[in-house]
Amino acid sequence: MLPVISLVFGGLQTAGLSYLLSGLVTGLISIVLAFVFAYSMEETFGKDLDYVEE
């Protein structure tokens, strides 16, 4: 995941954004994606996880 973040950061800098703004945009994209994927995960609290695969 780190190489993708580095590519996005470097790409934003070559697109003309400053160092600080590139970091801000990269951080916001990362945080938004983290919340989206965390929200879309299935909840396992209260689910019986004691099973055996055969």
The span from the CA of 20 to the CA of 35, in Å, is 23
Contact 29/1 with Cβ under 8 angstroms? Answer: no
pLDDT tens-digit profile of 9-36?
999 999 999 999 999 999 999 999 999 9
Confidence (pTM): 0.73
Q: What is the pLDDT of residue 51?
A: 79
Residue with tokens 């019986």: 48
Q: What is the pLDDT of residue 50?
A: 80
Q: What is the pLDDT of residue 40?
A: 93
The span from the CA of 11 to the CA of 23, in Å, is 11
